[in-house]
């Protein structure tokens, strides 16, 4: 019970911090907008369903044929219309996508570090990032595939159209899952997946996929610049449709991870001891792996490879709240969201926009060195 109270208190505080970061970030850019105005713009945009009408063509985010939801906006603060457009159409989708991606990567990183009993593990360790990169890069290099593959029903729930960006995301997502499944299949013998084998299989697959990426880059020609941008991580040009997909995919996956937080604690004892305490080890590992792979894939599909978030944020939070995943998992995820929003704000507020991956790596690598110097690293 004490644990639950602590988890709720920490999560509430960090959710509030994330909200503050989002609001402040939305005001930062070539056009400065005070946080108070940002808040008014956001509140103005908030709608509540006020009724249902039948017969007319549907409009709005929950449009269904023949059914129309009536919306009412409870707030009507006077705001600058240009500012409103900047915040709602340009900055907010990007910021919210950053928050969701950071949230996913930090959550997956926390789980992977617990799963591998190694604070230096991160979500890419099971090949997810390399797989996503191969998927995205091959789509960028051979965009011909567009017409044949975008009939996949995955993004059908949301009307994203057959855009180039959606194609990259879709290929990245599928590539991530294929790579993760490949690593899992290589490491599994007779229904058992030893963690050490999984780690090595991940390294092998990452190395191989790295070669594939290098080869594709050589063949890329004109699109090389786009590939480099994707590989370094990017959030520019984020659309509301991407935010919507991420917002639909991430929370349920996170809920699954959270439900396994206590099992993850017990798994830290080692598999045999965990089994002795009643954990169905292999099944739990499969669920954790699959869920982490999905949640990571959802993140990298939209934002490219953003390093260090999944590595550093869980580690920092472990130093603050301790190793108990019931507290660590929600706090690390929320902090990951806030961290990536802040990093992306820094990336776009300079004179020339940087890929966000450059900022996270530039902040992350020194922190990594700091951890090494302070002997916070456990032996592999």
The residues that touch another protein, with contacts defined as CB under 8 A, are 1, 3-4, 117, 259-260, 262, 265-266, 268-270, 272-273, 275-281, 318, 322-324, 378
Provide, rounded to whole angstroms, the least separation between the CB of residue 140 and another protein.
Answer: 41
- Pick 211 or 319: Cβ nearer another protein: 319
List the structure tokens of 214.
Answer: 């290098």
Residue 187 near residue 127, CB atoms below 8 Å: no
- Pick 44 or 265: Cβ nearer another protein: 265
Provide, rounded to whole angstroms, the least separation between the CB of residue 286 and another protein.
Answer: 14
Provide, rounded to whole angstroms, the least separation between the CB of residue 280 and another protein.
Answer: 5
- Pick 77 or 378: Cβ nearer another protein: 378
The rounded distance, in Å, linking the Cα atoms of 293 and 286 is 10
Classify burial at 193, counting beta carbons within 10 Å of its beta carbon; exposed 0-12, middle 13-18, buried 19 or more. Answer: buried
- Pick 19 or 195: Cβ nearer another protein: 195
H/E element holding 148? helix 146-149
Q: How does DSSP assign 160-199, residue by residue? A: --S-HHHHHHHHHHHHHHHHHHHHHHHH-BTTB--HHHHH
- For residue 288, which of 260, 247, 323 has the smallest C-alpha distance? 260
Give, in order, the Cα–Cα distances in Å from 288 to each of 115, 123, 158, 254, 348: 8, 12, 27, 11, 34
End-to-end CA distance of the chain: give it in Å, rounded. Answer: 33
Provide, rounded to whole angstroms, the least separation between the CB of residue 262 and another protein.
Answer: 7
- Pick 4 or 85: Cβ nearer another protein: 4
List the structure tokens of 203.
Answer: 């390294």
The rounded distance, in Å, linking the Cα atoms of 223 and 138 is 11
Provide, rounded to whole angstroms, the least separation between the CB of residue 117 and another protein.
Answer: 7
- Pick 325 or 348: Cβ nearer another protein: 325
Answer positive or negative: Cα dihedral of 175, 343, 355, 357.
Answer: negative
Provide, rounded to whole angstroms, the least separation between the CB of residue 272 and another protein.
Answer: 5
Count of Cβ atoms closer than 10 Å to residue 201 Cβ: 21
List the structure tokens of 200.
Answer: 């090595």
- Pick 159 or 272: Cβ nearer another protein: 272
The rounded distance, in Å, linking the Cα atoms of 48 and 17 is 25
- Pick 260 or 302: Cβ nearer another protein: 260
């Amino acid at each position: 019970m004490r644990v639950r109270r602590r988890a709720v208190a920490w999560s509430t505080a960090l959710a509030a911090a994330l909200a503050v970061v989002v609001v402040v970030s939305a005001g930062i850019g070539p056009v400065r907008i005070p946080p108070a105005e940002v808040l008014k713009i956001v509140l103005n945009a908030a709608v509540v369903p006020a009724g249902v009408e039948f017969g007319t063509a549907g409009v709005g985010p929950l449009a269904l044929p023949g059914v129309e939801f009536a919306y009412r906006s409870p707030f009507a603060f006077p705001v600058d219309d240009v500012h409103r457009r900047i915040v709602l159409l340009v900055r907010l989708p990007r910021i919210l996508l950053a928050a969701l991606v950071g949230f996913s990567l930090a959550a997956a990183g926390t789980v992977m570090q617990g799963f591998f009993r190694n604070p230096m593990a991160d979500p890419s360790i099971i090949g997810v990032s390399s797989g996503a990169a191969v998927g995205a890069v091959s789509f960028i290099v051979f965009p011909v595939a567009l017409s044949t593959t975008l009939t996949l029903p995955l993004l059908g729930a949301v009307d994203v159209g057959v855009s180039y960006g959606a194609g990259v995301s879709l290929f990245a997502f599928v590539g991530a899952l294929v790579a993760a499944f490949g690593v899992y299949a290589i490491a599994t013998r007779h229904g058992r997946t030893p963690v050490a084998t999984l780690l090595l299989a991940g390294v092998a697959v990452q190395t191989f996929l790295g070669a594939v990426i290098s080869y594709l880059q050589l063949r890329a020609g004109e699109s090389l610049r786009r590939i480099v941008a994707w590989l370094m991580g990017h959030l520019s040009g984020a659309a509301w449709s991407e935010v919507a997909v991420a917002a639909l995919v991430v929370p349920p996956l996170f809920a699954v991870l959270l439900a396994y937080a206590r099992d993850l604690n017990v798994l830290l004892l080692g598999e045999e001891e965990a089994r002795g305490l009643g954990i169905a080890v292999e099944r739990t590992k499969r669920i954790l792996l699959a869920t982490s792979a999905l949640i990571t894939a959802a993140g990298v599909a939209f934002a490219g490879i953003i390093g260090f978030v999944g590595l550093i944020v869980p580690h920092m939070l472990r130093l603050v709240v301790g190793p108990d995943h019931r507290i660590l998992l929600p706090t690390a995820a929320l902090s990951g969201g806030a961290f990536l929003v802040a990093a992306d704000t820094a990336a776009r507020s300079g004179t020339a926009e940087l890929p966000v991956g450059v900022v996270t790596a530039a902040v992350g690598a020194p922190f990594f060195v700091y951890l090494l110097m302070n002997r916070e690293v456990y032996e592999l």
